[in-house]
């Protein structure tokens, strides 16, 4: 193919014409911007809006009877949505529950599976994971009487990339539990969850993963890989809305364990309203619920997950890779003289759903992009995240973004903006 055509606007439009998922773009409220921050907060879809309004109407119509009446009875909504999420993580329906938030679910699962002894008491993590994970792990260690500076091991990254061999080298006899990200939130690197789980289990170490930056962007096989537990949010690639309810996975081999944090909705549903002061925990992942479900924050997921069921995660992943391949090609061709470094791994097996660029003026460049209605994401200390989402971003979005970025750099308009982050980066 002629190189001039390959990098032309017409080529981008042709790629969009051939895209089997192109019709989903019309399902979302995109506005007049190019939105590339779906790995931070996904856009609202018309189906999510409809399902939210349907649940709101059930409250209006039924009052308290909405717990058991209507199209989506609230009492069973966490389980019903868990069934819809299960295929996205390669799990059985009863192993997934929609509940809590990422951080509360980390506390729940770590308090359940972290069982230190005098010889095995350390927790293994990494230095690139999202801060909330480390806050929770340090808190759990303190609650058990340990000093996090000694009992928390954080594998050191190299330029925001983790080497799996170094993680495995730290799986020593004093490690009781491992919690790692599936996809690193800055670099977009995918960790080999299958390999890391196998190596942990060789050493009798329980291992879990934070799927926040992979759920809805890449396929998972948690059951096949024999992962012990996982948790994630639903407001990024899943498009559940700001602060939408989190979810968790517990491998069925662990069913029957008492939850570390017991609560009202961890009860077995058929006897929950007997109101006994002795908890009879649910028989599956429902045991790890704590409080009453946040019904209105769960409602958009009904519509959103219907689209994932239609489109299929394999098709979504195929387009996601095509979008980021195209972005990498354009960056390499159009921006080579401007000092950008692509940090994200180029190999498909190691690349998640977004691209991380490093540049000394990243904060200024992000502001300049926003001034022309292109929405990126800035991350300290000098990174730009560009997260095209398969269901609503187009190849033409990518082409226009890189052309705008080239113009910003050529004309140096980024120098009109302070090179420091806003309150929310």
pLDDT in tens, 223-243: 999 999 999 999 999 999 999
Q: Which residue, 262, 278, 310, sits at the end of a domain? A: 310
Residue 260 lies in a domain: yes
The mean of the pLDDT values for the chain is: 97
Instruction: For residue range 120-172, list pLDDT tens digits in order.
Output: 999 999 999 999 999 999 999 999 999 999 999 999 999 999 999 999 999 99
User: Does the annotation place 116 within a ligand binding site?
Assistant: no
Q: Is residue 117 located within the same domain as residue 255?
A: yes
Whether the per-residue pLDDT at 263 is higher than 80: the answer is yes
Q: Is residue 111 located within the same domain as residue 57?
A: yes
Instruction: Name the token pair of 120.
Output: 């095995």
Q: Is residue 341 located within the same domain as residue 265?
A: no
User: Does the annotation place 126 within a ligand binding site?
Assistant: no
DSSP 51-92: HHHHHHHHHHHHGGGGGTSSSS-GGGHHHHHHHHHHHHHT--
Q: Which residue, 260, 286, 310, sits at the end of a domain? A: 310
Of the chain, the percentage scoring pLDDT greater than 70 comes to: 100
Residue 425 lies in a domain: no
The residue segments making up the domain with residue 387 are 3-30+312-416
User: Does the annotation place 333 within a ligand binding site?
Assistant: no
Q: Is residue 296 located within the same domain as residue 318?
A: no
CATH of the domain at 168: 3.40.640.10
Instruction: For residue range 172-191, list pLDDT tens digits in order.
Output: 999 999 999 999 999 999 99
Residue 41 lies in a domain: no
Domain count, the chain: 2
Q: Is residue 71 located within the same domain as residue 9?
A: no
Residue 369 lies in a domain: yes
User: Does the annotation place 133 within a ligand binding site?
Assistant: yes
Q: Mean pLDDT throughout 244-253?
A: 98
Q: Is residue 291 located within the same domain as residue 347?
A: no
Q: Is residue 303 located within the same domain as residue 326?
A: no
Q: Mean pLDDT throughout 357-363?
A: 98
User: Does the annotation place 235 within a ligand binding site?
Assistant: yes
- Position 6 scores a pLDDT of 86
Q: Mean pLDDT throughout 402-415?
A: 98
- Position 93 scores a pLDDT of 98
Q: Which residue, 261, 281, 310, sits at the end of a domain? A: 310
CB 37 within 8 A of CB 387: yes
- Position 58 scores a pLDDT of 97
Instruction: For residue range 81-108, list pLDDT tens digits in order.
Output: 999 999 999 999 999 999 999 999 999 9
pTM of the complete model beyond 0.85: yes
Whether the per-residue pLDDT at 1 is higher than 70: the answer is no
CATH of the domain at 368: 3.90.1150.10
Inter-CA distances, 179 with 26, 158, 174, 261, Å: 38, 19, 15, 18
Of the chain, the percentage scoring pLDDT greater than 90 comes to: 97
Whether the per-residue pLDDT at 3 is higher than 90: the answer is no
Number of Cα atoms under 13 Å in the Cβ half of residue 169: 8
Q: Is residue 160 located within the same domain as residue 149?
A: yes
Q: Is residue 327 located within the same domain as residue 353?
A: yes
Categorise residue 61: left if φ over 0, alpha if ψ from -120 to 50, beta otherwise.
alpha
Q: Write out 272-295 in H/E/C secondary structure.
A: HHHCCCCCCECCCHHHHCCCCCCH
Q: Please name the residues in contact with 354: beta carbons below 8 A apart, sequence gap of 6 or more.
A: 39, 188, 213, 324, 344, 385, 386, 387, 388
User: Does the annotation place 378 within a ligand binding site?
Assistant: no
Q: Mean pLDDT throughout 58-87?
A: 97
Whether the per-residue pLDDT at 4 is higher than 90: the answer is no
- Position 424 scores a pLDDT of 80
Residue 395 lies in a domain: yes
Comparing CA positions, the residue from 316, 360, 352, 337 lying closest to residue 161 is 352
Tell me the pairing of strands 206-210 and 229-232.
parallel
Residue 201 lies in a domain: yes
Q: Mean pLDDT throughout 60-73?
A: 96
User: Does the annotation place 131 within a ligand binding site?
Assistant: yes
Residue 421 lies in a domain: no
Comparing CA positions, the residue from 85, 103, 106, 104 lying closest to residue 94 is 85
Instruction: For residue range 331-347, list pLDDT tens digits in order.
Output: 999 999 999 999 999 99
H/E run at residue 102: helix 102-113
H/E run at residue 386: strand 383-386
User: Does the annotation place 16 within a ligand binding site?
Assistant: no
Whether the per-residue pLDDT at 306 is higher than 90: the answer is yes
Whether the per-residue pLDDT at 194 is higher than 60: the answer is yes
The Cα–Cα gap between 162 and 184 comes to: 9
Q: Is residue 209 located within the same domain as residue 265?
A: yes
Residue 42 lies in a domain: no
User: Does the annotation place 224 within a ligand binding site?
Assistant: no
The Cα–Cα gap between 174 and 166 comes to: 16
């Amino acid at each position: 193919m002629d190189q001039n055509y390959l990098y032309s606007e017409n080529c981008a439009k042709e790629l969009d014409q051939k895209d089997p998922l192109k019709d989903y773009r019309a399902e979302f409220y995109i506005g007049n911007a190019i939105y590339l921050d779906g790995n931070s907060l996904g856009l609202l879809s018309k189906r999510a809006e409809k399902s939210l309004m349907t649940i709101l109407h059930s409250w209006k119509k039924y009052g308290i009877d909405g717990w058991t009446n209507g199209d989506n009875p609230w009492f069973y909504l966490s389980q019903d949505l868990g069934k819809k999420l299960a295929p996205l993580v390669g799990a059985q329906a009863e192993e997934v529950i929609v509940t809590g938030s990422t951080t509360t679910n980390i506390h729940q699962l770590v308090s359940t599976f972290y069982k230190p002894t005098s010889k095995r008491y350390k927790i293994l993590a990494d230095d690139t994971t999202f801060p909330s994970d480390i806050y929770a792990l340090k808190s759990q260690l303190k609650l058990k009487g340990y000093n996090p500076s000694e009992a928390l091991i954080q594998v050191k990254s190299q330029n925001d990339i983790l080497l799996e061999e170094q993680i495995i080298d730290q799986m020593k006899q004093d490690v009781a539990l491992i919690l790692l990200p599936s996809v690193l939130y800055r670099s977009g690197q995918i960790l080999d969850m299958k390999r890391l789980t196998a190596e942990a289990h060789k050493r009798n170490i329980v291992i879990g993963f934070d799927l926040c930056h992979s759920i809805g962007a890449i396929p998972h096989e948690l059951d096949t890989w024999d992962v012990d537990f996982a948790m994630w949010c639903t407001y990024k690639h899943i498009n559940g809305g700001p602060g939408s309810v989190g979810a968790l996975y517990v491998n069925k081999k662990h069913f029957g364990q008492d939850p570390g944090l017991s609560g009202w909705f961890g009860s077995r549903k058929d006897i929950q309203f007997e109101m006994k002061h002795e908890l009879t925990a649910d028989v599956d992942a429902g045991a790890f619920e704590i409080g009453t479900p946040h019904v209105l924050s769960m409602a958009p997921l009904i519509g959103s997950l219907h689209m994932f069921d239609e489109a299929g995660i394999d098709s979504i992943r195929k387009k996601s890779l095509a979008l980021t391949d195209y972005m990498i090609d354009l960056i390499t061709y159009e921006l080579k003289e401007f000092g950008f470094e692509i940090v994200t791994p180029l190999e498909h097996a190691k690349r998640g759903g977004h691209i991380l660029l490093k540049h000394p003026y990243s904060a200024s460049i992000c502001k300049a992009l926003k001034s022309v209605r292109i929405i990126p994401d800035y991350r300290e200390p000098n990174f730009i995240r560009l997260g095209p989402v398969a269901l609503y971003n187009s190849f033409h979005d990518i082409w226009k973004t890189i052309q705008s970025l080239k113009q910003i750099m050529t004309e140096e308009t980024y120098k009109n903006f302070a090179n420091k982050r806003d309150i929310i980066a």
